[in-house]
Amino acid sequence: MLTSYFPLSLSCGILGIPKKLSTLPQKSLYFTLGHSLHFFRFFFNQKRLLALKPFPKNKRIYNDQRGVVTQAQASHIRGSSSSIRWLKRQQSDPYTRMAREQGFAARSAFKLDQILNSYHVTRAQLIIDLGASPGGWTQVLHRRFPCAHIISVDKAPMTPIPNTTQLILDFTNTNTPRIIGNILRDRKIDLLVSDMAPSFCGHKQTDHIRLLALAELAFEFGKLTLKHGANAIFKINRGGTESQFKLLLQQYFERVCYAKPDASYKDSSELFVVALGFIGRNRDDE
Ligand SMILES: C[S@@+](CC[C@H](N)C(=O)[O-])C[C@H]1O[C@@H](n2cnc3c(N)ncnc32)[C@H](O)[C@@H]1O
């Protein structure tokens, strides 16, 4: 009894919690203490962020846009001078600010918005958004095509968006296309977008191959599900094999172009392939 009570009253003293509280049942006191500790941890991390100091390993950290920085971002931020540059760029980036002001889940929303504007993609009723989390692209699609049915797929959870079927699935899993197929039944899609990106390991060639593999997988799915005349957008990056992917798409679409929207950082190798007017069969087979 004494041993379980002692640390409790000591903690109350340190945290300045009124003594009356210690008459509450122990469970609720631990609850209160837990919340106080969370507050101090949050406050401490905010201070670090503002001071742009490197974060120690295994700490939960916060950014100014979405609250919690993801694992991938966290590993990017930890310690190095490039991470501090990344944070500074995030803070001064106009698209990050605009995303926050306009209620987008991610700044990447503007990449899709700019591509759709440039290529005059104005109509779509059935849309598939692959790699949709946290939801920026789906939000753009929903705002542009409010009556469309959007199927969003990602390994990670995403922001709830109306008229959207959200599937938390790994697209590389062999069952995933079958599950999406069951939802589609016999309907064909008007627009397929893929912003899927693997967790980058830092080895450029490996990252390039992994990203292209996801885009190719998305295209293989598109071959079976796209409507005649449909459009598709795939995220890829520069690294050597992007032209082969473009050549492949040229066999299936009337027009295929690379796109580098303004919202995509100039110094990143990120690139998009815009494929317009799905023909529906390989020209080589004709
Ligand atoms: C750049 S983010 C997408 C951002 C999103 N388009 C937006 O605007 O909010 C890339 C996403 O691809 C997802 N992803 C990567 N590999 C995947 C896979 N095999 N299956 C499903 N999603 C995957 C990641 O979970 C990540 O959320």
Over residues 15-46, the pLDDT tens digits come to 444 444 444 445 444 444 445 544 445 444 44
Which residue ranges have their beta carbon within 6 Å of ligand 1?
Answer: 105-106, 108-109, 131-137, 153-156, 170-172, 195-198, 214
Residue 176: C-alpha distances to residues 153, 171, 187, 235 (Å) = 9, 6, 17, 20
Buried b (16+ CB within 10 A) or exposed e, 160-185: ebeebebbebebeeeebbeebeeebe
Q: What is the largest CA-CA distance in the chain?
A: 86
- Residue 37 Cα to ligand 1 middle (Å): 33
- Domain locations along the chain: 1-51, 52-92, 105-285
* pLDDT band at residue 283 using 50, 70 and 90 as cut-offs: low
- Residue 21 Cα to ligand 1 middle (Å): 46
- Residue 8 Cα to ligand 1 middle (Å): 44
* Choice from 191, 196, 234 to test ligand 1 binding pocket (greatest atom count within 8 A of CB): 196
Residue tagged 């959007």 (tokens):
150
* pLDDT band at residue 110 using 50, 70 and 90 as cut-offs: very high
CATH of domain 105-285: 3.40.50.150
> Which phi and psi (to 5°) does residue 222 adopt?
-60, -35
pLDDT tens column, 141-196 = 999 999 999 999 999 999 999 989 999 999 999 999 999 999 999 999 999 999 99
* Choice from 102, 152, 155 to test ligand 1 binding pocket (greatest atom count within 8 A of CB): 155
Atom number in ligand 1 closest to CA 172: 19
- Residue 234 Cα to ligand 1 middle (Å): 12
pTM reported for the whole predicted model:
0.74
Identify whether the C-beta of residue 159 lies closer than 8 Å to the C-beta of residue 145: no
Residue tagged 């627009």 (tokens):
191
Mean of pLDDT values over 258-276: 97
Say whether 227 is catalytic: no
Q: Which of 20, 111, 155, 235 is catalytic?
A: 235
Strand order in the sheet with 189-194: 164-168, 149-154, 126-130, 189-194, 226-237, 270-278, 253-259
Q: Which residues pair with 149 in a beta bridge?
A: 126
